[in-house]
Amino acid sequence: MDVTLHLAQDPEADELLGRSPLAALVGMLLDQQVPMEWAFKGPRTIADRLGADDLDAHEIAAQDPEAFAALLSEKPAVHRYPGSMAKRVQQLCQYLVEHYDGNAELVWKGVADGPELLRRLGELPGFGKQKAQIFLALLGKQLGVQPKGWREAAGAYGEPKSFRSVADITGPESLTKVRAHKQEMKAAAKTAKAAGK
């Protein structure tokens, strides 16, 4: 992996995301209940606080949970819920150590097809179906990981130029389109909920 991503809208954070499979997975894990730029800046912040140039699944998995939670809680916090997200990041890294020898790229390297990749992503701690589909779409659209059937496995997120998720963010303009789509979806859900009462 060595591409330019624009998910954090921060050159140093985006550079790490583009070359580090683990950083990309951790950013995706953190992408909930906070602005996506904040989530995807998290891996760079964690690496800096560990005094490293990259994230290492073995190192993170072996951290003392309280110390790692304190690391993510330092101001500015890596996430709105730094304690629970520290636990999730460690669980993800422990899973990668146990199943992929700590190498995040092995989750998708040499995978047979889109459904298999979706299954593997969905098995990662903290990755439900939607998060797995979004990450699969990111792999296919921006990171060149395109096993047979990847678009179909990614569902609507795999559609070209859909501007539904981080998979479609390539700069400020596309970020604005994705934000607009998310706001439309929230408004539609709110309307549907109100109509159901």
Retrieve residue 115's tokens.
């459904």
**pLDDT, one tens digit for every residue, the chain (197 residues):** 567 888 888 999 999 999 999 999 999 999 998 888 899 999 999 999 999 999 999 999 999 999 999 999 999 999 999 999 999 999 999 999 999 999 999 999 989 999 999 999 999 999 999 999 999 999 999 999 999 999 999 999 999 888 888 888 888 888 888 888 878 877 877 888 888 75
If DSSP states are collapsed to H, E and C, what string results for the chain? CCCCCCCCCCHHHHHHHHHCHHHHHHHHHHCCCCCHHHHHHHHHHHHHHCCCCCCCHHHHHHCCHHHHHHHHHCCCCCCCCHHHHHHHHHHHHHHHHHHHCCCHHHHCCCCCCHHHHHHHHHCCCCCCHHHHHHHHHHHHHHCCCCCCCHHHHCHHHHCCCCCCCHHHCCCHHHHHHHHHHHHHHHHHHHHHHHHHC
How far is Cα 116 from Cα 114, in angstroms, rounded to an integer?
A: 5
Question: Residues 95, 60: contact at Cβ < 8 Å?
Answer: no
pTM exceeds 0.85 for this model: yes
Per residue in 69-119, pLDDT tens?
A: 999 999 999 999 999 999 999 999 999 999 999 999 999 998 999 999 999
